[in-house]
Amino acid sequence: MGGVYLESRLEFLRKSQNPDGGWGYFPAKGSWFEPTTYAMLALQGRRESEGDLDRAWRLLRSWQLADGSFRPSGQVADGTWVTAHAVTLASVRGVDDASVRRSVDWLLGDVGAEHDVLMRVASFFHWIPTKLDVSHEGWPWRQGNASWIEPTAHTLVALKKVSSHYRTAEVERRVREGEKLVLSRRCSDGGWNCGNPNVFNYDLPSYPETTGLALLGLEGRNEEELAGALAVARRFRAETKSSLAKAWLQIALRCHGQPLETPAEIPWASSDIMLGAVQALGHPEGNYRLFGAPGVQL
């Protein structure tokens, strides 16, 4: 199997599952949607984890609200960007029912607030002190806020998984728009930050982790178009000290078919559950392919 690197991380995930079925950001902490998503994806397909994954899925589904959105944890009352993760997980688990479709409907109805008419007018007259293209529809962290790279990337991953069988035309339109938004928010250094490349005519730098996530959202686009960004991602991966950023970059680069060496067989030595899951996903024998949507050409 995956050797010490992968197996020690998967074993850590199995041992750190909460009694309610979810995972916290750290062991013995309350369950959250985000680390539960990554832990589930990392353990997906492991026969010994099937029961654990079923329990986790039941917990997450109990967090769905009537409008189709999902709460980020049992401690929070309102639905957020994690709804994209719910759609991705449903697709990975082969679930396609009315509740999943409500989530897709919710995502299709969610647009970054900077895309409203007032902002587009202000942008047209150059009244906004950022060089920001507000003509495209992306996704915010929370309804009513502006679009950012990370929630947009996660929603692109989710919608590409359902584009072939539900509201295809609208899903494809939003995917194209979301991809344009991501491309328009690229920093002058070739990567991506949270989603704001310039303020008051000062260029802002990109970050390695958001560069990885942006590329994940752009999977399926012409590789030649992304050659520069992939080169930046490779450089970031070589240079960054951030374990999380390196893991996201590995997932993104592998999803884009970039050759990467297998990580050294270093056993797991952290208490960060999300990091362990994302690292496991980015291993060559990990489940990084679950972020992709093979065959989707929009």
Partner 1 sequence: MTRRKFAGLSAAAVVGTYAGIKLQRPPKLSDGPAGKSAVAIIRARSYSDDLVSRMLQGIRECGLDVRGKRVLLKPNLVEFDAATVINTDAAVIAAALEVFHRLGAREVKIGEGPGHRRDTLDLADDARYRASVPKFDRIFTDLNRDDVSPVRGFAGESQFYFPNTVLGADLIVSLAKMKTHHWAGATLSMKNFFGVVPGSVYGWPKNKLHYLGIAESIVALNRQFGSKAFAIVDGVIGMEGNGPIQGTPKPAGVLVMGRDLVAVDATCARVMGIDPEKMTYLRMAADLGHVHAGRIEQRGETIASVRTNFALIDEYKSLRLA
Residues that bind partner 1 (CB under 8 A): 24-26, 29-30, 32, 34, 72-73, 75-77, 80-81, 112-114, 116, 118-119, 122-123, 127-130, 132, 134, 140-142, 144-148, 150-151, 185, 193-196, 199-200, 202, 204, 207, 209, 241-245, 272, 274
**Is the CB of 29 or the CB of 55 nearer to partner 1?**
29
CB of 60 to partner 1, least distance (A): 15
Give the residue with the Cβ less far from partner 1, 185 or 186.
185
User: Of 25 and 166, which has the nearer Cβ to partner 1?
Assistant: 25
Cβ nearer to partner 1, comparing 54 with 78: 78
Residue 223 Cβ, how far from partner 1 at the closest point, in Å?
Answer: 26
Q: How far is the CB of 278 from partner 1 (least distance, A)?
A: 10
Q: How far apart are CA 44 and CA 89, in angstroms?
A: 10
Whole-angstrom distance, CA of residue 147 vs CA of residue 164: 25
Q: What is the closest distance, in whole angstroms, from the C-beta atom of residue 204 to partner 1 in the complex?
A: 8
Select 7 or 272, whichever has its Cβ closest to partner 1: 272
State in angstroms the smallest separation of the CB of 167 from partner 1: 26
In 3D, which of 288, 254, 298, 295 has the Cα closest to residue 92? 288
Nearer to partner 1, 19 or 200 (CB): 200
